[in-house]
Amino acid sequence: MLTMTAKAIPATDGRFFGIKEVRDIADGVSQGSDIAQLLDWVESYLMNGHPDLGRTGAVCPFTRQAAKIDTVRLAISPARAEDEDKAFALIRGAFGELEAIPCKTAMKHFRTVIVGFPDCADPGGIAMLKRIQRRHRFYSLARARMIGMMHAGSEDLGLWNPEFRPLRSPMPVLAIRHLVENDAPFAALHPALMVAYLARFPIKGTRRLVNHFRSG
């Protein structure tokens, strides 16, 4: 457990915190800080339903369950568009942070890290973060991990409602989580991801993909 006071960390500068720790920060002098805003988006958007989602349940059921068992870690980076090396190093380190989250063996697949980049909302910052995501694509797939990007102008289509834009967030975000069996709909859209998915779930994954294609 970190013992820093909220006053000492108005910006987290790449340090990772559990949800309870962030709540403590948000309730203190850092109310309204970037990490408090990131947590508010996670709890009010990702962990809740949305009328345009196209299905019942939370926008990200994975995050909701992870929060229940304290396997979510949040961080804020002060990186700007010109700080690609710094941002890259933080995200590469986030893979290790993911592995270090303590939990029961059966719950390891619920571990996730979410990094906000409030100073990268400009076109240059978005382009830089997209490069970092691409540079980690095969690194993450080789480890059966997913790396996703969200930002205010995301035009990625919803899986269940193509008119919905599920990957929009108030600040640019890079998130890392485990590849799970329920990711068949995502795997179906990306050949490289499908290879990693079937390597991780050869039998059950094949069945899910077949059912997905049949239902489509």
DSSP per-residue letters across the chain = -----GGG-SS-TT--EEHHHHHHHHHTTTTTSHHHHHHHHIIIIITS--TTSSSSS-S-HHHHHHHHTT-EEEEE----TT-HHHHHHHHHHHHHHHHH----GGGGGG-EEEEE-GGG-SHHHHHHHHHHHHHTHHHHHHTTEEEEEE-TT--PPPSS-TT--TT--SS-EEEEEE--GGGHHHHTT-HHHHHHHHHHSTTHHHHHHHHHHHH-
What's the whole-model pTM score?
A: 0.87
Average pLDDT over residues 160-168: 91
For the cut 90, the answer to whether the pLDDT of residue 213 exceeds it is no
For the cut 60, the answer to whether the pLDDT of residue 1 exceeds it is no
For the cut 80, the answer to whether the pLDDT of residue 190 exceeds it is yes
For the cut 70, the answer to whether the pLDDT of residue 140 exceeds it is yes
Predicted local confidence at residue 7, as pLDDT: 35
List, for residues 91-131, the tens digit of each pLDDT value.
Answer: 999 999 999 999 999 999 999 999 999 999 999 999 999 99
